A and B are shown apart, each in its own frame.
Chain A
């Protein structure tokens, strides 16, 4: 099933700019120039998202989940790992490791539905569901394979 722990960084969504206690004007960074990572980031490109030391100022630590009305649900049993959704997602919210689709980063997905639109499988391995519906409920409601219409 989906490896959801990948997208559940401990601090994610809790800390906004400057943390819980709002800092005063004398403490904001000069020019609102924000550091993305804690410490030296020379090797960051070789690290996977969950290994990186994101700073509180990195947008990765902020959640935009509340923007969503509908959410995409991923069905690993139908997926062919074509990576189309990963390529097209405008918010890099599709989590893929070694060309294997693993799930959706629900802290950053805004529910645009592009991944569903570009999914080529039959039935689609990504479908939009109401934000409140549970994962099991959604998977139980997954459609069957449809035959192509005769022309």
Chain B
């Protein structure tokens, strides 16, 4: 049995330390890790827990992130509880194997500390890597702060390992902003956390010699389509399971999570829709604008995959003007997040005005002032009844204004 780790009721942890503590409490069988900034401390701390006897499992050092995820796939198929962490380029190197993991329905937990993708090389946070994983068949959960990074890693094991789900889960947090900023964290006791997650119950594990199975079979046109349909259904059907796990976690900790988080949305006219720590910045801006009489609201997407299409539509149906914030290079299109939120709104009767802001790339600060300016632009749109600016704008960019596409009415 592992050594006891003494925890206080309240700890001062950054996002990385919080995530590594959640991994320790999950008592993982195998962590295969290759360090990459800014997620390095997660596996570094975890390595220290292993070395000091706080964890019974194996810690596998590999020669690349591709090998790290491959090791995770092998260990998970063998019947172990498995997790690792990555960011940016390392995530990109893992992508090939991410599809293997989800296709084989292996409940691996991956901590993604979001960071910009090169080039130019950059270690700071944006959501380029999060978007890179969006079609990989993983459940993607987004933590807006360090406490949530801790809570949601615990939830991730319970969601992914549920026998009706059996899918790998990514838990995202913002590079440096969340991962390296220390905050007050209220951890669960080791017993409470482990009992919440429960013992790992593998299905079709390779080490069951009485029932040998083949993983990663070739299918071609005969079966690939059917298999992908089943995998998609598993992702879609994970939605009620996620809700149940969040409800159970609320009973345990008092902290309530939703697939779509809404703030001051009861009567909001103008709304910012965002991901990650930006949501918290936008909340502060909205609160300040409320005092000036602006009916501002914020919607944060907690579960990015499966995309909460119906909940986004429901949350935003009363709004007049909406800014969807993409912290990722749009790559010759409207922001991917904008497209998804817009698609959810297109089939509503009210069909609010939606604009796309590209912001904060490569760790460029997203300030309360900038959020306020975006709210005010949305107020102008709402007052005019049509979009008064470019539909896509780069916010916080040095140099002349960069934006694309105006409405015909504008």
**A residues touching B (Cβ–Cβ < 8 Å)?**
16-17, 22-26, 28, 30-37, 40-42, 44, 57
Contact = CB atoms under 8 A, between A and B. Distances in A.
Contact of B227 (A25, A36, A41): A25
Given A17-B223, A30-B105, A31-B103, A36 B212 contact: yes
B219 interface: yes
Interface of B: 103-106, 166, 203-204, 209-217, 219, 222-223, 225-227, 229-231, 233-234
A25 B225 CA distance: 8
B213 A25 contact: no
Q: Which 5 A-B pairs have the closest CB atoms?
A: A31-B105, A25-B226, A25-B229, A34-B214, A42-B210
B222 A31 contact: no
A57 B105 contact: no
Contacts of A44: 212
A5 to B, nearest CB: 25
A30 B226 CA distance: 11
A54 B143 CA distance: 47
Nearest to B77: A33
B210 A40 contact: yes
Give the dominant DSSP class at A's interface. loop
B223 A24 contact: no
Contact of A40 (B211, B216, B225): B211
A33 B226 contact: no
A40 B104 CA distance: 23
Nearest to B206: A33
Nearest to B208: A41
Q: Which of B166, B210, B214, B227 has the most CB of A within 10 A?
A: B214
Q: Which of A17, A30, A36 has the most CB of B within 10 A?
A: A30
Q: Which of B217, B222, B233 has the most CB of A within 10 A?
A: B217
Contacts of A35: 211-214
A26 B216 CA distance: 19
